[in-house]
Structure 1
């Protein structure tokens, strides 16, 4: 029960239904989800460990903020892990993987709103991470992808970036590297893509 509540509350933080600084009250959440306060408290404690909420003594929990340094940390970690993961996906490429990535890229290009484009782009990266068959790397990246999705929700100027031809081209190039079973090229392309994404996120933060 607590794990399910944690996932549901986290999802609302990621999509910014719960905004940075919002106070999360155990009783209110218990009423919302029709449960006792105990699993809510356990869920909030787990979210505090994960960094999604901050403990406020004698008050409860607030949704953690997301600032410039948070974005830098997220993207630095992604650059440290994701290129190697993408290379592993290319080394073990399958027809099914290529087909799925093509479909997700098509969804991103066809998306008519920011949220849909971000979801398709996130799934594109998540599918590559899963294909590497490294559970620890995949779990680490899952958290970072959620952080990235939240940044997009908090920074409306990123709608221009996620819908840009250059973003689509970067994903297409990565897909081509995977399709060609070329780990070295795929690793380089993913690193370049993440560097460009970080620049776009930082620029959006200051608009």
Structure 2
């Protein structure tokens, strides 16, 4: 099966040339493009989520042989959540090769976080089916890169801590408002404000909404604790 030049370039970005290119085509085909004769990536997404989970669990165990389950679990969750998958998808420009129906394309599907995260999981599954777990795991470790070593910072849930602090003070949970978004569609940068009903607020900027919200929450919490 022949594939487009865009998919050939994409294979270079993920570091894997498919023996069965049909798997890659299926992995980047959204449900909005499916038909009785053309499958979509939903089944691959289901499998890819499990392959990613196993790869990351093994990587975390090998990276820290002393860590207890209580420390490993939040690290694991931070690395396999949809936002992390979408971040990786943006870095390798999955959006550029997605096969989308007209309505999904017009609504900005190439940059939607959930859609990108799903497609990234489907690509992982396609590599697993094409070449086995070891090759898929090596690709995952390569693409996730420094995220694995820096996962402790991302695993800290500042939003939960901020909400608990607000409740302890008899306040409503903070609101998170998108203040600004800039950059290209495949690599957006978000500025989010965390706001309390008292008027106190803090902003943060990051490459995903979740990271910006977490950073804004951490900044607001530090501000509130300092003022006490």
1 or 2, which has the higher strand percentage? 2
TM-score by length of 2: 0.29
Tell me: higher relative CO, structure 1 or 2? Use CA pairs within 8 A at least 6 residues apart: 1
